[in-house]
Amino acid sequence: MTAMITIEGMTKVYKMGDIEVHALRGVDVTINKGEFVAIMGPSGSGKSTLMNMIGCLDTPTTGRYALDGIEVSSLNDNQLSSVRARKLGFVFQQYMLLPRQTALANVEMPMVYRGIPAADRKQRAALALEIVGMGNRMDHRPNELSGGQQQRVAIARALAGSPAVILADEPTGALDSKTSEEIMHMLMQLNREQQLTIIIVTHEADVAAYADRILTIRDGVIIDDRRNQRGAA
């Protein structure tokens, strides 16, 4: 299998005055193309810091990180921003949709900053909305959509840029249990049908159960890395 993410000896130390906070203490992990991985851990375990590193939102204090063949550990802010735009799609607990824009315009927005021509943007955004079952809601604004529908639009926005990896941070945290199941089934389907690499951060075992691999982090170290029996969720 081909590695999508390779992390070796990653540490992250935050300085707060005279105090050093060791958020990551030597993380080693490889995630292959097409895997669906859940990162679990209690509050303060380092899971959000690890997600920020994978998402090129921050850089490690020490260690190596390669994303889809690109060494990103030592890139500057502008280079990290370019990698994020080309390689990553983000889905958040709060949907982060622009309230005055339609679903189609929201999905197009990241492609505007990448300089993708308008006709291509519209076509790709429309296709992404079709894929997530929102093809008949393209002209609706967020306040005309349910929470689950808004999250589908957010997933379409992540998909439209053809990312190598989708990162989802507590993607069902603002949803009821039935809608959460629908969103997780959709992510699982996208992983299976499009061979998308998907990484979710969650503190909920029933959400992690949709992944085919579960990483558990505690005190800045991965303490468990196990395969999951998919389809049980």
> DSSP string of 73-138?
TT--HHHHHHHHHHHEEEE-SS----TTS-HHHHHHHHHHHTT--HHHHHHHHHHHHHHTT-GGGT
- Which residue reads 């370019």 in tokens? 82
Give the distance between the most distant pair of CA atoms in the chain. Answer: 55
Q: Do the Cβ atoms of 182 and 190 come closer than 8 Å? A: no
Q: What is the pLDDT of residue 114?
A: 82
Q: What is the pLDDT of residue 230?
A: 60
Structural domain spans, the chain:
35-46+77-227
- Count each helix (H run) and each strand (E run) in the chain, helices first: 7, 10
User: In terms of C-beta density within 10 A (0-12 exposed, 13-18 middle, 19 or more buried), how is residue 117 classed?
Assistant: exposed
Q: Do the Cβ atoms of 40 and 47 come closer than 8 Å? A: yes
Q: What is the pLDDT of residue 232?
A: 44
Tokens for 130, please give them. 């079709």
Domain covering 35-46+77-227 in this structure, CATH number = 3.40.50.300
pLDDT beneath 70: ranges in the chain: 230-233
Write down the pTM of the prediction: 0.92
